A and B are shown apart, each in its own frame.
Chain A
Amino acid sequence: MKIVAAVLLALTLVSPARAERIEVVDLAGRAVALDLPVDRFVISEGRYIPLLALLRPDSPVSGLVGMMSPLGHTQPELEAQLFRRFPAARDIPLFGRGSADSVSVEKIIDLRPQLAIFGLGDHGPGARNAELLHQLQAAGIAIVFIDFRQDPMQNTLPSIELLGQLLGAPDRAQAYGAFYRERRARIEQRVRQSKQRPTVFVQAHPGRFECCWGMADGMLGPFVGLAGGRNIADAVAPGPTAQHTAEFLLTENPDVWIGTASGTVGEYRQGASPVALGPGLGAAEAADSLKRYLSAPEFRALDAARSGRAHAIWHNFYNSPFNIVALEAFARWIHPELFADIDPQQTLAAIHREFLPFDLEGTYFATVPRD
């Protein structure tokens, strides 16, 4: 009896340390086998830290032993919040800078991760970067690709669920998935009931890039169709995004104009031209920034700009697990009568309240007032 007890005790002591081998298929369609639990991993871009926080709100960066670029590259204010609450996040080593070319494979290997998490079409190493993938695999590092950018509507939840599984937080991933699915289903259902398809132009980086870079079937472009609109750039653009003339915009005269604002509060206060949204910006300032941009003569002649149907949305939603708020915003703007009860700002607040260890600061949506 004593022997049996000893063996059982030994087993229970050993089993947590004993690795569980699992096999998953990542978002690039690659079959990946690795041992759980994952105690050490790296990510390509710091912008995936909010996702890590969603899965593990008490310790978002535990186990994160390196990343290519810091969160501050895209969200400096959120990074400051992260550093305040989780000081360990300051010391995460970087193995590159802004692009895949800057990645040091040697540095990654030296960081001894079990797992490297990269994104499809993000700024880090891509799935076609065979040499780098081969080198990492040879060093015993498993690689999985997630995706919030190439096909955000299809890949967002599978990406979150995959990481939930690998990082030991499947229930958190499930909970967020339910939250997300419920909201998406509501939009899909109501859009199906409506015959109307208002025309929409989604302009990337208004004020930063010259007029008019449209999102066709890339980035936030496909959200237009899901939200019940017709994306006018999609019919003419040869690629995922393309530059159109102001003339195209004036000729098509879309019912709804949506700019993806990449300006920051600092730029806005300096009087710079990029339409600004995001942390630190008040609602009035955000609306003013959009109004300032739309006061150019070619926009003054657009019906959307005069009738209160020109809007701005925070550019970073194009590569974000929280892109459901972009879909909600699009739906509300394209079909105000169908979606009067939907408030993307509230959804964003709910995501922060229920899923994230961060406070929501700033303004993420703006609408230019009717003339």
Chain B
Amino acid sequence: MTDGDPSLQRRFAAIRKRRWFILGLLGAGLLGCLWLDLMAGPAGLSAEQIVLGLFDPHGLELRHRIILWQVRLPDALIALAVGAALGLAGVETQTILDNPLASPFTLGVSSAAALGASIAIVLVPVLPLLPEAAMLPAMALVFALGAGVLVLVIVHYAGGGRETVVLFGISLVFLCNALTAALHYVADADSSQQIVFWTIGNLTKAGWPEVWIVAACLILILPFSLRQVWLLTLLRGGEAHARSVGIDVARLRFWGILRASILAAFAVCFVGTIAFIGLVGPHIARLLLGEDHRLLVPGSALCGALILSAASFLSKALLPGVIVPVGILTAIVGVPMLLGLLIGRRRQA
């Protein structure tokens, strides 16, 4: 056994190779989706014009330059950043809570963000030094992070018990939804409509500053997630097993929830509560890549970005000239992907 079974080793190497290949394919698919997303729109920009415009913006006429750089690019890129952040937050939450139904939204983050946004829309609070346009995302962010902090406090006092965390998170969802409903009740019709559309999620709100902020958040947090991929993989073998080999599960859980909350909070605060991606992105990645978190963590981020990018493309392409809010489309895109994979796996087995 010291040399290992050569056939087993070969098979493992083959599986590993195949999985890296799939990860590569996901990356290529993502680039393809990004390209489709950049091509979609009523202006009829040709592929050549887009490539030229990307490298030499001033080579385009003013109107086309604005369409490419102020309208299409920020929307397409925020789809990638938000999708990746939600996918990453999703896989961390699912692993850390050992619950396939968990998502960043189970922690109450998105409901809290919606509550913050509703307060900003209905009560129009004014804070010094904060421009009025930044009030809504700022309130959404503060509330989302606040929900994260509350959950972390519970993690701390509950000694990291995962049922307690999930139960508390879901209670928080109900509480925030109830308070948002109360705001609907006092709001006028236009404000109510604004809240509804905010909670559906829409990428057109985002400009370049928003793209940079979400991307920076993702880039800063991803290395910390990647540093823990070994521990996360071990945790998938069961909490008792992980403890028995000396892993401080409570600590792991604390940091994981912290990362997921920050990611989800920044992801939703600008574009609204885009649902489904944090839940299903990781499952699609898991079906394709297995439980090894070295691949699963980046894979979930890729899948999240892929779903949202495809949804973003559809949101513009379905009805030319009109935007279908992307939050309506994420599940419509994601469910067939998931079903296809489940059926494919069944056939293999």
Tell me the total A-B contact number using a CB cutoff of 8 A: 95
CA–CA, A246 and B70, complex, Å: 9
Identity of the chain B residue whose Cβ is nearest the Cβ of A102 in the assembled complex: B185
Identity of the chain B residue whose Cβ is nearest the Cβ of A73 in the assembled complex: B188
Identity of the chain B residue whose Cβ is nearest the Cβ of A98 in the assembled complex: B188
CA–CA, A151 and B190, complex, Å: 20
Q: A209-B194, A247-B42 are in contact. List 15 more A-B contacts (CB 8 A).
A: A97-B185, A236-B320, A236-B322, A237-B321, A238-B319, A243-B204, A243-B322, A243-B323, A245-B42, A247-B41, A247-B72, A250-B67, A250-B71, A270-B132, A297-B70
CA–CA, A210 and B43, complex, Å: 20
CA–CA, A99 and B185, complex, Å: 8
Residues of A within 8 A of B190 (CB): 205, 208, 262
Chain A proximity mask over B278-306: 1 for CB below 8 Å, otherwise 0 = 00000000000000000000000000000
Identity of the chain A residue whose Cβ is nearest the Cβ of B316 in the assembled complex: A245
Q: Closest CB of chain A to B249's CB: distance in Å?
A: 43
Given known pairs A246-B71, A248-B42, the reply for A238 and B132 (CB within 8 Å) is: no
Identity of the chain B residue whose Cβ is nearest the Cβ of A246 in the assembled complex: B71
Residues of A within 8 A of B71 (CB): 245-247, 250, 298
Check A238–B322 contact: CB distance below 8 A.
yes
Residues of A within 8 A of B323 (CB): 242-245
> Looking at the complex, which one of A73, A205, A208, A247 makes contact with B67 (CB distance below 8 Å)?
A247
Identity of the chain B residue whose Cβ is nearest the Cβ of A253 in the assembled complex: B63
Among B63, B185, B323, find the residue whose CB has the most chain A CB atoms closer than 10 A: B323
Residues of B within 8 A of A262 (CB): 190
Chain B proximity mask over A293-308: 1 for CB below 8 Å, otherwise 0 = 0000110010000000
Whether B133 is near chain A, meaning CB under 8 Å from some CB there, is yes
Whether A40 is near chain B, meaning CB under 8 Å from some CB there, is no
Given known pairs A236-B319, A238-B319, the reply for A250 and B66 (CB within 8 Å) is: yes
Chain A proximity mask over B58-84: 1 for CB below 8 Å, otherwise 0 = 000011001100111000000000000
Interface size on A, residues (CB 8 A): 35
Given known pairs A210-B204, A236-B319, A243-B323, the reply for A273 and B132 (CB within 8 Å) is: yes
Residues of A within 8 A of B186 (CB): 97-98
CA–CA, A221 and B70, complex, Å: 27
Interface of B (DSSP majority class): helix
Sampled A-B contacts (30; CB under 8 Å): A74-B188, A97-B185, A98-B188, A98-B189, A99-B189, A209-B194, A210-B204, A236-B319, A236-B322, A237-B321, A237-B322, A238-B319, A242-B323, A243-B322, A244-B321, A245-B41, A245-B323, A246-B70, A247-B41, A247-B42, A247-B67, A248-B42, A250-B71, A251-B44, A252-B42, A262-B190, A271-B131, A297-B66, A301-B63, A301-B66
Q: Closest CB of chain B to A213's CB: distance in Å?
A: 9
Q: Closest CB of chain A to B187's CB: distance in Å?
A: 6
Whether A272 is near chain B, meaning CB under 8 Å from some CB there, is yes
Whether A123 is near chain B, meaning CB under 8 Å from some CB there, is yes
Whether A283 is near chain B, meaning CB under 8 Å from some CB there, is no
Identity of the chain B residue whose Cβ is nearest the Cβ of A243 in the assembled complex: B323
Residues of B within 8 A of A248 (CB): 42, 321-322
Check B321–A301 contact: CB distance below 8 A.
no
> Looking at the complex, which one of A73, A97, A98, A298 makes contact with B70 (CB distance below 8 Å)?
A298
Check B67–A123 contact: CB distance below 8 A.
no
> Looking at the complex, which one of A123, A245, A301 makes contact with B189 (CB distance below 8 Å)?
A123
Q: Closest CB of chain A to B122's CB: distance in Å?
A: 10
CA–CA, A309 and B192, complex, Å: 32
Given known pairs A236-B321, A246-B70, the reply for A301 and B126 (CB within 8 Å) is: no
Chain A proximity mask over B104-146: 1 for CB below 8 Å, otherwise 0 = 0000000000000000000000100001110000000000000
Whether B202 is near chain A, meaning CB under 8 Å from some CB there, is yes
> Looking at the complex, which one of A209, A236, A250, A272 makes contact with B132 (CB distance below 8 Å)?
A272
Residues of B within 8 A of A208 (CB): 190, 194
